[in-house]
Amino acid sequence: MEHLSEKLINWASILDPGTRAQAELTATMPFIHPHLALMPDAHLGKGATVGSVIPTLGAIMPAAVGVDIGCGMVAVRTQFVAADLPEDRSTVRKAIARAVPLSAGARNRSITREHTQERLSELRDRADDAGFDPGSYVRVWDLQLGTLGSGNHFLEVTLDEADRVWLFLHSGSRGVGNKIAQHHIGVAQQVCIDAGVDLPDRDLAYLSEGSVEFDAYIRQMQWAQHYALLNREEMMDRMVACLQDWVGTEVQRLEEINCHHNYTEPEEHYGELVWLSRKGAISARAGEPGLIPGSMGTASYVVAGLGNPVALMSAPHGAGRVYSRNKARKTFTVEQLAEAMAGIEYEHSAAFLDEIPAAYKDIDQVMADAADLVQIRHTLRQIVNVKGT
């Protein structure tokens, strides 16, 4: 941990100059209190750095929450061990890929599951309470519940250090969350223009607490957070069904963790009630369970928070990119990806080249940097990986 400026404290040992400069700029915003905490996986983002924990008094910067509102992970520990699993892992990979629509823009053809209907009914009621129509952002938002998306989102069958079988996935609020975020980023920019605010970066535009625009953002952002949580629950239900069919035995959910890493909520820190925005960071209060995934082909971690007050009770959300997607595609080869994925059942495709582990920070170094933020409870290694393009 090091102080980079008066209001910027850093836990990242791997930090490129551009990311540092972006974080330093965000930390100059006048309503930051007491300081911005930069997590070990920090990398460039829209306006504010991914891997930032940003406490604000009386204002919120929508871009500092993130464009995939409520993005996060869910993991389930089952009663199975590696020896219980059939030898042909391609069977379950293909079944999961059929059960969960993958890739950008993917949707379900229809809504059939009773639990899906219940979740959608809950979301419709919450949208009514929030005073908006999600369909005004994405017409088929309901058909995207239970779908993965693309990028670093994944569905995995994993084994822990005792060879126990876990199901693990990473996804967010899909198209509707992104559209909500982009809309309110634009609203904040216009509000700042109208007020004559001189911003160091237009994506650091903010909404002031008590304004109509602020209240509308909070209501819709909280709805999108819940959408993301239920989206993960829906996909996990489908993964459980696939595992059950593959093994031929009903799955027991012995432990389940579901956590966000792109969100904001009121919390008390350093004696003040602030809006704490975790953009690419998870809550890590003392004893709080959490999930920190690595990149495609590397380990992921089940953790317990250590409640570090200087880090604002937070921890990293993953490995953090060191190569942009375009640079990764130009730098690495399909053969290198196959080598990195040795022993893991996955779809061999050049479409996933930008997700090669070498495009990310070393997750072991990230976890070493986070030693005073979380305690590792379980180390998970992938045996089946499913991703969208």
User: 13, 291 in Cβ contact below 8 A?
Assistant: no
Tell me what pLDDT residue 67 has.
94
pTM: 0.96
Segment (H or E) for 250 = none
Tell me what pLDDT residue 389 has.
86
Tell me: the pLDDT tens digits for 110-125? Answer: 888 888 999 999 999 9
Tell me what pLDDT residue 113 has.
83
Tell me what pLDDT residue 167 has.
98
CA distances from 31 to 21, 24, 36, 248, 294 (A): 19, 14, 11, 56, 33
Tell me the sheet residues that pair with 379: 301
Tell me what pLDDT residue 68 has.
95
Tell me what pLDDT residue 348 has.
94
Residue 184 annotated among the catalytic residues of the structure = no
> The tokens 């992938």 sit on which residue?
382
Tell me what pLDDT residue 363 has.
95
pLDDT averaged over 10-residue windows placed end to end, the chain, 389 residues: 96 97 97 98 94 98 96 98 98 97 92 90 98 98 96 96 98 97 98 97 97 98 97 97 98 96 96 97 98 95 98 97 95 96 96 95 97 98 95
Q: How many angstroms separate the CA atoms of 312 and 274, rounded?
A: 11
Tell me what pLDDT residue 115 has.
87
- Where exactly are the structural domains of the chain? 2-386
- Write down the catalytic residue from 170, 317, 348, 378: 317
Can you identify the CATH homologous superfamily of domain 2-386? Answer: tRNA-splicing ligase RtcB (3.90.1860.10)
